[in-house]
Amino acid sequence: MPVLESWNAADHPDQRRLRAYLDEVIRLVGADALPPGEPLALELVVGLPATIAPDRGGRDLDNYLFPVVRRIGAGRVAAVFGRKLQQPESTIAVGVAARQADLPGPPQLRIRTTTSTQSPAWKHAIHEACRRVSSEPLPSGPIALYIRFGVSSRRNWSALWKPAIDALGPLLGAPDPKHPFRANDDRIVELELHRDVDDLLADDVVIDFWWRRLVP
């Protein structure tokens, strides 16, 4: 079973479990043997018991994907695919990435951020841009989300995933108005994350979003 990211102290049992899991993942996919100069793509399918609903319960896909990409090296990874399914087994695959020719169409939301990605203003800018295109959250149920990050080659793009998704409360819903950046992102059951390198962006980030509701 895949292991979620942990923010506990290094000696906490959750952290030890995560490290053991990542050691096994790296061994299974042979990541260290992949061509060092080639951009990689990763796919993780999280298998859940039939008694667990994939679109609730706090099992955020980005929190499954992030530690694996961190361990491989975010600079080596150009595309990440995650899914949550009710099935007995989980699967993971890593290989050389191929450029995707077909996009889902024009982005449903595009924003270019110019503030520090570490500041609350960065998430606020995404939140406000999302609110302008989504006056009401999507009806309850599972969602597929596709995000493309335009970044310079020096930026750790994986560090942008969580804050960008957390800012989508106007689209995903946020249970507590006092915490607008705690979106219902566990309802995302299909997640695609793509990196588009453009060094002319310097410190700016261009983010394109696509989404669709899924039949449970």
- pLDDT, tens digit, for every residue of 119-169? 999 999 999 999 999 989 999 999 999 999 999 999 999 999 999 999 999
Domain count within the chain? 2
Q: Please indicate, yes or no, whether residues 77 and 116 belong to a single structural domain of this protein.
A: no
pLDDT tens digit string along 1-52? 899 999 888 889 999 999 999 999 998 888 777 878 889 999 999 999 999 9
Residue 185 is predicted with a pLDDT of: 94
pLDDT tens digit string along 167-213? 999 999 998 888 889 999 999 999 999 999 999 999 999 999 999 99
CA dist., res. 35 & res. 29, Å (int) = 13
Q: Please indicate, yes or no, whether residues 64 and 118 belong to a single structural domain of this protein.
A: no
User: Has residue 163 been placed in a domain?
Assistant: yes
Output the domain CATH number for residue 193.
3.30.1330
Q: Please indicate, yes or no, whether residues 92 and 115 belong to a single structural domain of this protein.
A: no
User: Has residue 103 been placed in a domain?
Assistant: no
> What does the buried/exposed string (b/e) look like for 186-215 if buried means 16 or more CB atoms within 10 Å of the residue's CB?
bbbbbbbbbbeeeeebeebbbbbbbbeeee
Domain that holds residue 194: 109-213
Question: What does the block give as tokens for 138?
Answer: 């999507």
Q: Please indicate, yes or no, whether residues 143 and 90 belong to a single structural domain of this protein.
A: no
Question: What does the block give as tokens for 94?
Answer: 């890593």
Q: Which of 96, 126, 145 is the last residue of a domain?
A: 96
CA dist., res. 95 & res. 114, Å (int) = 33
Q: Please indicate, yes or no, whether residues 21 and 83 belong to a single structural domain of this protein.
A: yes
Question: What does the block give as tokens for 70?
Answer: 């961190």
Q: Please indicate, yes or no, whether residues 45 and 24 belong to a single structural domain of this protein.
A: yes
Residue 101 has pLDDT above 70, yes or no: no
CA dist., res. 155 & res. 207, Å (int) = 14
Q: Please indicate, yes or no, whether residues 74 and 117 belong to a single structural domain of this protein.
A: no
pLDDT tens digit string along 68-98? 999 999 999 999 999 999 999 999 999 888 8
Asked if 186 and 59 count as a contact pair (C-beta separation under 8 A), the reply is yes
The verdict on pTM exceeding 0.85 is yes
Give the SS3 label for residue 67: helix
